[in-house]
Structure 1
């Protein structure tokens, strides 16, 4: 009886999953596996100790990542490749303040605070990465 109950529960769990996952999954940007630790005591990352500041590195992700300090408890990190393009030379994003702009001729602009598009074409938001603060170390990963 337990086994039957387990199988029925498993069936409902599997069939209850939404098919919307494929709609939300970005077909242009592949999933990369990486993990980087940023020691906020080092001068290179010092500005991430203050809310409203950002740090850009081109060493991780497809075209780099931007990390934004929202309030010293929350940090946001996003891929610096336009999520509404197949990665190409012009699809890297340039940062100006809290905006990330595409270098292709489509006018795509995103906010690095939420990742949402604020101008241009396309329906995908910036690809987010996970950020965890442990003491004075930020770990950014996918």
Structure 2
């Protein structure tokens, strides 16, 4: 009897699990596979050694990435393409302080601390990338 209960419990668990990733997949932004390392001892990336600072690069992602140092242990990285538009010239986000703004005329703005939309219209937040600090190297990947 316990064996039957265990089998039904396992079946229920497996059938009850689903991935929300497929439901919230952004139809505007393509999925890119990349991995890049930033050596934090190099002068170019020095600002990333201090909490509250950011670094913007246009060399990776669709229109670039922004990296934000939250507290020296946690780093955040986001795509610099407005997630509520098909990639185009105006959907490349401009970062000022901790806000990323779109120039498509809809007033879309996002915070680079959480990725959430803070102005404008749309249902998607900024596309996050993985950020992992290993020793003195920061790895950003998707």
Give yes or no for TM over 0.5.
yes
| Whole-Å separation in 2 of the counterparts to 1:21 and 1:7 | 27
Shift in alpha-carbon separation, 1:139–1:6, aligned structure 2, 3 A: farther
Q: TM-score, normalised by structure 1?
A: 0.90
Q: How do 1:71-82 residues align onto structure 2 when only pairs under 5 Å count? A: 71-82=71-82
Q: How do 1:50-65 residues align onto structure 2 when only pairs under 5 Å count? A: 50-65=50-65
| Whole-Å separation in 2 of the counterparts to 1:8 and 1:86 | 45
Q: TM-score, normalised by structure 2?
A: 0.90
SS at match of 2:22: helix
| Whole-Å separation in 1 of the counterparts to 2:15 and 2:75 | 35
| Whole-Å separation in 1 of the counterparts to 2:135 and 2:21 | 34
Q: Is there any run of 5+ residues in structure 2 with no aligned partner, and where?
A: none
Query: How far does residue 130 in structure 1 lie from its aligned partner after superposition?
Result: 0.4
Q: Deviations over 1:96-138 (max 9, x none)?
A: 0000001111100000000000000001010000001011100
Query: How far does residue 19 in structure 1 lie from its aligned partner after superposition?
Result: 6.1
Match of 1:88 in 2: 88
Query: How far does residue 25 in structure 1 lie from its aligned partner after superposition?
Result: 1.3
Match of 2:29 in 1: 29
Match of 1:124 in 2: 124
Query: How far does residue 91 in structure 1 lie from its aligned partner after superposition?
Result: 0.5
SS at match of 1:133: strand
Match of 1:49 in 2: 49
| Whole-Å separation in 2 of the counterparts to 1:88 and 1:112 | 20
Once superposed, what is the RMSD of the aligned Cα atoms?
Answer: 2.0
Shift in alpha-carbon separation, 1:54–1:123, aligned structure 2, 3 A: same
SS at match of 1:21: coil
SS at match of 1:22: coil
Query: How far does residue 9 in structure 1 lie from its aligned partner after superposition?
Result: 6.5
